[in-house]
Every structure is written in C-alpha cells, then in structure tokens.
C-alpha cells in the first residue's frame, strides 16, 4: 500500500495531463466540496491509482486462489437467478481496482465481455491473455461486432460490460445525466437488454487501504429495465453508477475524459498544459 501510494504521488506530480483531466472531472462532479476537499480527493485518487498499478503483477500472473485471498465479494447470489434461462448483464465501471476485483469475482464464472484494443499490440496481447487465462472468459475487442456477445449470452454466459466511457456523439450514444452533467452515454446496455430479455445488475469495486483487501459489491437488478427509451435506460444506469461511485469517490478513474462530448459543444479539458506521459495509463 505504501509503495502504491508513492507511485501515485509520482504520477500526480509528473503527469500534468492526467492531473489536469482528473482535477477537471472532480471539480465538475463535486461543486459542493471546497477547493481543499477536492484537492484532497485528487491526491487520494492518484494514490489509489498507484496501488492499482502496484498490484498489476498479482492480477496478471498469480493463481486465482492467491487473488481471492486478498478479495471479498458481496452479492454473488444475484449473478445466479432462480430461472436458469434468465440472461444476466453485469454492469461495472472504471475504477482503480477494476482488474483485481474482476479477476477475483469472475474467475469461476463463464462470461462474455469486450475490451478496448490498446494501441500497443504487446500490451493488448498481455491484457487480453491475462483476462482470459482462467479459460471461462471470452473477451472480444470493442471494434468487433456484437455477434460474439450475443452468441455467448445465448449459450448462457454472463455478459460483463463496462459502458461508462465517452465515445462521442453517434447512433450508439444518448445524452443522460451524470453527476449533474449531461454526457454522451453508450446505449449498449439498453439495446442488449431489449434484444435478450436480460436483467441488469450494477457492481462496484473498491480497495480498503486499511486492510489491503479488494471489495466487490453486486446489487440487485435494476427495476423496470429496459424502459421506454434508450435515454431513460442510460439515465438509470448512470444514476446507479453515480450512487455506487459516491461510496468511494476517490477510486473512480477520474483520469479519463468522461465529459469530452457535451451538448453545448464546449470542451472542459481544453486548457493548454505541459504533458509528460512518462508513466503508463493502463488501469481500466
């Protein structure tokens, strides 16, 4: 934990680009906090980020029994509904503990999911291999079609989605509230739920820095989902996400540009800064 906090402090001090993005996000989402409180959250966020980096080796190469030793999961019963034919979509969000908690919770579950294709092909291979090494996961790239996802769900696999990135305005996004902002939100959860009849379960991950244990919380299915429109469904997913993030707000991945597509066309990240990307942005 101490080593990870030091790595996080170095990232915050040396990577001005990510520091600026994270501070902008925190300022937008927590206007009710004082400046000193937001700066404190910024510092704690990077320390959590550093702890995630420090545990990458454990995540990527340790036996699942060792990973589970440092983990605890609440709400696993919701992943296995009474009706064995019921399709299930598990929706999670980008946190500093994403890979660790995913590995501990899903190692024994047959699932289908997707991941972002990394620009570095070696890193892409490494991440894909590590996330599928327990043989139960089928993970496709986001630039592929949804055919693999649908086939996996038809085979009874749990569908695991992390739909919180802002990919710009398109036919696959709608604008929905998130921390008081109207942001471009993927409608893939709504679309898949309508096609497959799946229930949607929110989940959040956090690190207890006092014990060093990673805690996963799975909640019951969203009610009346899917609803009448993709916009209403996106609002429901975003609201569930916001409620869960507020439990440990410093551990959401604030270094992503969550609000790069706003309805008024403005760019909250457009301030000119000196960029030093010497440290990796691999969490999530």
* CA pair distance 115, 61, nearest whole angstrom: 19
Q: How far is CA 182 from CA 41, 234, 251, 258, in A?
A: 23, 11, 22, 11
Three-class SS state of 139? strand
Cβ proximity of 187 and 172 under 8 Å? yes
Residue that the structure tokens 């649908």 belong to: 150
Question: Peptide bond before 226: cis, by omega within 30 degrees of 0?
Answer: yes
Counted residue by residue, the chain has a size of 284
Interacting residues of 165 by C-beta distance below 8 A, sequence separation 6+: 94, 116, 186, 256, 258
Interacting residues of 68 by C-beta distance below 8 A, sequence separation 6+: 104, 107
Which residues in the chain show pLDDT less than 50?
A: 273-284
Residue 270: predicted pLDDT:
85
Cβ proximity of 171 and 62 under 8 Å? no
**What pTM was computed for the model?**
0.86
Residue 280: predicted pLDDT:
41
Q: How far is CA 63 from CA 58, 107, 124, 160, 223, in A?
A: 8, 10, 21, 22, 37
């Amino acid at each position: 934990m101490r080593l990870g906090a030091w790595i996080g402090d170095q990232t915050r001090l040396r990577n001005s680009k990510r520091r600026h993005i994270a501070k902008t996000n925190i300022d937008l989402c927590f206007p009710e906090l004082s400046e000193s409180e937001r700066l404190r959250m910024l510092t704690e966020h990077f320390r959590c980020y550093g702890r995630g980096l420090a545990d990458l080796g454990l995540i990527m190469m340790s036996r699942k029994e060792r990973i589970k030793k440092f983990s605890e999961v609440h709400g696993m019963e919701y992943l296995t509904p009474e009706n064995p034919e019921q399709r299930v979509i598990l929706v999670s969000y980008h946190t500093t503990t994403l890979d660790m908690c995913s590995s501990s919770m899903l190692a024994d579950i047959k699932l289908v999911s997707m991941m972002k294709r990394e620009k570095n092909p070696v890193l892409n291979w490494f991440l894909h291999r590590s996330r599928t090494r327990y043989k139960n996961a089928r993970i496709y790239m986001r630039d592929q079609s949804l055919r693999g996802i649908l086939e996996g769900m038809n085979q009874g696999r749990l569908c695991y989605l992390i739909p919180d990135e802002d990919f710009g305005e398109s036919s696959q996004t709608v604008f929905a509230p998130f921390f008081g902002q109207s942001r471009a939100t993927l409608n893939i959860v709504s679309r898949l739920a309508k096609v497959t009849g799946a229930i949607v379960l929110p989940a959040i991950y956090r690190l207890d820095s006092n014990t060093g244990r990673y805690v996963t919380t799975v909640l019951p299915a969203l009610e009346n989902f899917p609803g009448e429109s993709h916009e209403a469904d996106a609002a429901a997913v975003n609201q569930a996400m916001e409620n869960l993030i507020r439990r440990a707000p410093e551990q959401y991945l604030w270094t992503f540009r969550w609000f790069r597509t706003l309805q008024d066309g403005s760019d909250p990240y457009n301030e000119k800064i000196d960029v030093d990307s010497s440290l990796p942005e691999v969490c999530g």
